Amino acid sequence: MLNLQENSLILIVDDTITNLEIISDALTNAGFSVTTARNGEKALQQIQDKLPDLILLDVMMPGIDGLETCRKLKTDPLTQDIPVIFMTGISDTETKVKGLSLGAVDYITKPCQKEEVLARIKTHLQLRYLTKTLEQRVAERTSELSQALKDLQAYQLQLIQKEKMSALGQLVAGIAHEINNPVSCIHGNLAHATNYFNNLMNIIDLYQQNYPEPVAAIQAEIAETDLDYMRSDLPNLITSMKEGVQRIRNISTSLRNFSRSDQDRKVFCNIHNGIDSTIMILKHRLKASKIRPEIEVIKHYGSLPSVTCFSGQLNQVFMNILTNAIDALEESNIGRSYSEIEQHPNRIWITTSLSENKQNVLIRIKDNGVGMSAEIQQKIFEHLFTTKAVGQGTGLGLSIAHQIIVEKHQGKLDVYSVPEKGSEFTITIPIH
């Protein structure tokens, strides 16, 4: 058990030398460290050099009396927790109540009895020690609970992110597979269709060369179908179909690239392929509509090496940031006409480069949307924080993005924004 006498310093404040000597000797013999002061002014000065664990304070003293000294002690954050025990020969209730209301913990009536003084001092030192210990334990427990909450939130984010990527990966992989089969069939058959058409045209040419004057029914059918236009336009139709099929194949490839199942290990990946795949998937939100022109995506790609990363998760970060940029642009369009938006078009700039030390890849995604206030920027990566209406945002997107970049890739995700001017997110990822 803690020996309070060996570890405690007692300050005795009394203008009577005899009282100081008697109480000081008693406390010293009991094992306490003792310091003394003859008045309130000197006591306050001494305390600035070394804080006592308890103060025995005479009420009636010249200059600053004990009550005023106690008031000063209790208004100073440095000394307000030190127990003060008044020593007084006055026994009226009013003085005692006033002293206790100022923050004193007890009274000792003069002439002081040694056993009583020691008993009261030990009691209040023990109470102070227990209070301090309890406060420390509460602070430690609060810190532990706070850390546990943070760990739980981080774990929840990991589960949500993992489940989302797993479900998305399976869905997208299934869609890409289902698309690939018919598209490959169409793509392969278009080449045969072109050959068949050319063969039919050759046969028609031979008929026209050898039978330049067909019967009336054939001439009428040729006129009805406009054979010359058909033979000139059909190649264009087949070319358009080939381009459409190739676009579907590109989308399918983008879907597969976007949803790569690499949660358990890092792989070498091309950052630009991930960004392009994400833009391809978001194409439907970028194209023009009845209320606004197309959102322009301006890319300034630097020369980047392959990066060791969780590419599927990194693509999710691009998706979250680009989706937020589109949302910010659409919000900025509220109240603006189509022509007004044309004059000040919606734009997203994507810039990639290497850091000065060539150790990191920098990806900047900037928009000219509504922007954010400084208060929102401080909270933007917090768990469940969202500025969107109920049902439109979960508050998880940027929180998960921050976790992916900072914890999974040991990188940084920063934001700089000005209200009504737009926002810029900067992703920093170590190359290895």
Domain boundaries, the chain: 4-112, 148-259, 260-432
Measured CA to CA, the distance from residue 52 to residue 7 in angstroms comes to 11
pLDDT score for 208: 84
| CA distance linking residue 406 with residue 409, whole number of Å | 6
Tell me what pLDDT residue 394 has.
46
Q: What are phi and psi of 394, to 5 degrees?
A: -95, -20
Q: How many whole angstroms from its chain centre is CA 244?
A: 41
| Rounded CA Rg of the chain | 41
How far separated are the first and last CA of the chain, in Å rounded? 55
Closest CA to 413 of 382, 385, 389, 384: 382
Residue 296's alpha-carbon distances to 287, 327, 335, 347, 367, in angstroms, are 9, 14, 20, 5, 10
Cα(1)–Cα(126) distance, rounded to whole angstroms? 11
- The superfamily (CATH) of domain 4-112 is Response regulator (3.40.50.2300)
Q: What is the pLDDT of residue 236?
A: 85
Q: Which CATH superfamily is domain 260-432 in?
A: Histidine kinase-like ATPase, C-terminal domain (3.30.565.10)
Asked whether the whole model's pTM tops 0.75, one would answer no
The DSSP code sequence of 250-264 is HHHHHHHHHT---TT
Sequential pLDDT tens for the chain (432 residues): 455 555 788 898 888 888 888 888 888 888 888 888 988 888 888 888 888 989 998 888 888 888 888 988 888 888 888 889 888 876 667 777 887 888 888 888 777 777 888 888 888 888 888 888 887 888 888 887 888 777 777 676 666 656 555 555 666 666 766 777 788 888 888 888 888 888 988 888 888 888 888 888 888 888 888 888 888 888 888 888 887 887 777 777 666 666 554 456 788 889 998 899 888 888 888 999 899 999 999 999 999 999 998 887 888 889 889 999 999 999 999 999 999 999 999 999 999 999 999 999 999 999 999 999 988 888 888 866 666 554 455 446 788 788 889 988 999 999 999 998 999 999 999 998
Residue closest to 398 by CA, chosen among 346, 329, 347, 322: 322
Indicate the angle between helix axes 114-210 and 227-258, nearest 10 degrees: 160
Burial 101-130 (b: 16+ CB within 10 A, else e): ebbbbbbbebebeeeebbebbbebbeebee
The two structure tokens encoding residue 196: 């068949």
Secondary-structure percent of the chain, ordered helix, strand, coil, rounded to 5: 55, 15, 25
